[in-house]
């Protein structure tokens, strides 16, 4: 088993080998920590937490909006 | 990671404050920042009747929730823009939140009221979709706020929105827009007072607020916004923020403290010479306001048929600056 990761815009699913911290996971995916939140079972996961192979998380973008 | 307040396990880090928070103290932090913005910029009082523009996204639902929790009298306003499934879903989120908290949501549907939608209408009018959308929303926000007798209109613009708009307007030196980029725009003839109580919160925090409070919001981005300049400005600023936490805050609040006043004169010139639109009565420098001209160009129909479609229409060049 691997860590299951859901990404948005476009929506897609990945599997990443654990254990891995949130900070390292975001770095591996080349995602800016200012631009996303990590959610597991509806709750926020802090950056220093380590994910195990049994985890399933969503990386939720926070940047939104058009401008006139 | 430990909460800066209680030393319990933290759920979020806010690097520009060099602080981590548990769920309880993060919610307190959000309330504190919103209250500070309301007080510092004299946005409104508990006696005011407030209308908040709601899109079904994280920012508008977060500010509605925060204001209700802080004891303000707030109704919601949803503008349906006819952006296919995206609009349908965003309305569902806005309605669901209003229903959950037993709040009043005013709804205006552009396609059924004006006979055009943003994707097709912007194409027909030869406007960028985000420009046609922004113009429509601003016009209808003003109209509904005045019609409903509200003292103030609240929008969910957050720190990232304001920093990105400031970045774009500075990059192109749109000085007439810089003079209006303030957290409070006072009421004047035909315009309600407009305020932005989320300016002290980044959008990562408004999203986190919704998750912690269990508020369902539309996560997916508007399909019309993909690739727009505003989003690329936000990405650029986030790269800087990652290297220098607090950069966005310093940029925006430094502008308010030290630079905004220099652009007041130009902004006030822009406000002179306003008359009433011959079609809808909204303030305009032309015979027909920009929204009514958009409706005609987009192939729609003005609800009040006054022969506007027979009026020669000149939209002028598409605006490239950003106003909110």
Q: Which residues of B touch A47 (CB under 8 A)?
A: 1, 13
Q: Which two tokens stand for residue A2?
A: 């691997």
Q: Rounded mean pLDDT of B291-315? A: 68
Q: Which residues of B touch A43 (CB under 8 A)?
A: 11, 211
Domain-located, residue B297: no
Here the ipTM equals 0.93
Q: Which two tokens stand for residue B1?
A: 């990671």
The interaxial angle of helices B58-69 and B203-213, nearest 10 deg, is 60
Q: Is the dihedral of CA B26, B31, B34, B40 positive or negative?
A: negative
Q: Are A26 and A49 in contact (CB under 8 A)?
A: no
Domain-located, residue B285: no
| pLDDT per position as a tens digit, B59-107 | 999 999 999 999 999 999 999 999 999 999 999 999 999 999 999 999 9
φ/ψ of residue A6, rounded to 5: -105, 130
Contact B134 A42 (CB under 8 A): no
Q: Rounded mean pLDDT of A45-57? A: 93
Whether the pLDDT of residue B317 is over 80: the answer is no
Q: Point out the residue among A11, A46, A61 whose CB comes nearest to the CB of B13.
A: A46
User: Regarding beta strands A12-16 and A50-51, do their DSSP bridges make them parallel or antiparallel, or are they unpaired?
Assistant: unpaired
Neighbours of B157 (CB within 10 A): 26
Taking chain A, what is the end-to-end CA distance rounded to the nearest angstrom? Answer: 46
Searching chain A, which residue's CA lies closest to the CA of residue B238? A34
Q: Which residues of A touch B294 (CB under 8 A)?
A: none
Contact A68 B134 (CB under 8 A): yes
Domain-located, residue B293: no
Domains held by chain B: number: 1
pLDDT given for residue B271 in this prediction: 67
Whether the pLDDT of residue B309 is over 60: the answer is no
User: Regarding beta strands B49-53 and B73-80, do their DSSP bridges make them parallel or antiparallel, or are they unpaired?
Assistant: parallel
Q: What is the C-alpha to C-alpha distance for residues B219 and B203, in angstroms, rounded to an integer?
A: 12
Domain-located, residue B103: yes
The alpha carbon of B235 is separated from its chain's Cα centroid by a whole number of angstroms, namely: 19
Domain-located, residue B23: no
The alpha carbon of B170 is separated from its chain's Cα centroid by a whole number of angstroms, namely: 19
Q: Which domains does chain A have, with CATH numbers?
A: 3-61 (3.10.20.30)
pLDDT given for residue B267 in this prediction: 74
Searching chain A, which residue's CA lies closest to the CA of residue B13? A46
Whether the pLDDT of residue B46 is over 50: the answer is yes
Q: Rounded mean pLDDT of B264-289? A: 85
Q: What is the C-alpha to C-alpha distance for residues B208 and A39, in angstroms, rounded to an integer?
A: 9
Give me the domain span that covers residue B141: 32-273
Q: Which residues of B touch A48 (CB under 8 A)?
A: 1
Contact B165 A67 (CB under 8 A): yes
| pLDDT per position as a tens digit, B120-145 | 989 988 888 989 999 999 999 999 99
Whether A27 and chain B come into contact, CB under 8 Å, resolves to no
Domain-located, residue B314: no
Domain-located, residue B281: no
Whether A32 and chain B come into contact, CB under 8 Å, resolves to yes
Whether the pLDDT of residue B159 is over 60: the answer is yes
Confidence (pTM): 0.91
Q: Point out the residue among B10, B59, B208 whose CB comes nearest to the CB of A37.
A: B208
Q: Which residues of A touch B228 (CB under 8 A)?
A: 66-67
Q: Quickly list DSSP for B124-163.
A: HTT--HHHHHHHHHHHHHHHHHHHTT-SEEE----HHHHH
Q: What is the C-alpha to C-alpha distance for residues B288 and A68, in angstroms, rounded to an integer?
A: 20
On average, the pLDDT of chain B sits at: 91
Q: Quickly list DSSP for B64-122.
A: HHHHHHTT-EEEEEEEE---HHHHHHHHHHHHHHHHHTT--EEEEEHHHHHS--HHHHH
Lowest-pLDDT range of A19-28, B86-95, B119-128, B269-278: B269-278
Here the CATH number for the domain that contains residue B213 is 3.40.50.620
Half-sphere exposure in the Cβ direction for B22 (13 Å, CA): 10
Of residues B125 and B36, the one with the higher pLDDT is B36
Domain-located, residue B196: yes
The alpha carbon of B318 is separated from its chain's Cα centroid by a whole number of angstroms, namely: 20
pLDDT given for residue B314 in this prediction: 44
Contact A61 B224 (CB under 8 A): no
Give the minimum alpha-carbon distance from B203 to chain A in angstroms, rounded to a whole number. Answer: 6
């Amino acid at each position: 088993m691997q860590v299951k990761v859901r990404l948005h815009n476009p929506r897609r699913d990945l599997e990443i080998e654990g254990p891995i911290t949130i900070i390292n996971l975001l770095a591996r995916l080349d995602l800016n920590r200012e631009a996303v939140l990590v959610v597991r079972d509806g709750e926020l996961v802090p950056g220093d937490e380590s994910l195990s192979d049994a985890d399933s998380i969503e990386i939720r973008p926070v940047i939104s909006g058009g401008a006139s | 990671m430990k909460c800066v307040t209680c030393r319990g396990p933290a759920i979020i880090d806010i690097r520009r404050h060099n602080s981590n928070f548990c769920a309880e103290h993060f919610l307190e932090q959000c309330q504190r920042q919103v209250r500070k913005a309301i007080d510092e910029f004299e946005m409104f009082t508990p006696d005011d009747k407030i209308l908040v523009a709601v899109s079904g996204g994280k920012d508008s639902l977060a500010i509605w929730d925060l204001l209700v929790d802080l004891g303000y009298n707030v109704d919601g306003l949803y503008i349906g823009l006819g952006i296919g499934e995206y609009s349908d879903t965003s309305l569902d989120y806005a309605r669901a939140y209003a229903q959950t908290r037993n709040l009043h949501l005013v709804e205006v549907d552009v396609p059924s009221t004006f006979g055009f939608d943003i994707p097709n209408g912007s194409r027909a009018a030869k406007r960028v979709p985000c420009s046609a959308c922004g113009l429509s929303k601003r016009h209808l926000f003003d109209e509904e706020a005045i019609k409903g007798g509200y003292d103030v209109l609240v929008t969910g613009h957050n720190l990232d929105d304001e920093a990105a708009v400031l970045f774009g307007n500075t990059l192109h030196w749109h000085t007439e827009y810089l003079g209006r980029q303030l957290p409070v725009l006072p009421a004047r003839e035909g315009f309600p007072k407009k305020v932005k109580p989320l300016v002290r919160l980044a959008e990562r925090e408004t999203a986190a607020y919704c998750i912690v409070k269990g508020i369902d919001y539309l996560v997916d981005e508007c399909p019309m916004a993909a690739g727009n300049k505003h989003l690329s400005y936000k990405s650029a600023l986030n790269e800087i923020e990652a290297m220098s936490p607090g950069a966005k805050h310093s940029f925006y609040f430094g502008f308010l403290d030290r630079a905004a006043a220099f652009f007041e004169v130009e902004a006030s010139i822009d406000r002179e010479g306003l008359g009433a639109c011959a079609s809808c009565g909204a303030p305009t420098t032309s015979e027909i306001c920009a929204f009514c001209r958009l409706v005609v160009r987009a192939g729609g129909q003005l609800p009040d048929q006054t022969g506007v479609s027979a009026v020669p229409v000149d939209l002028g060049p598409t605006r490239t600056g950003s106003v909110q």
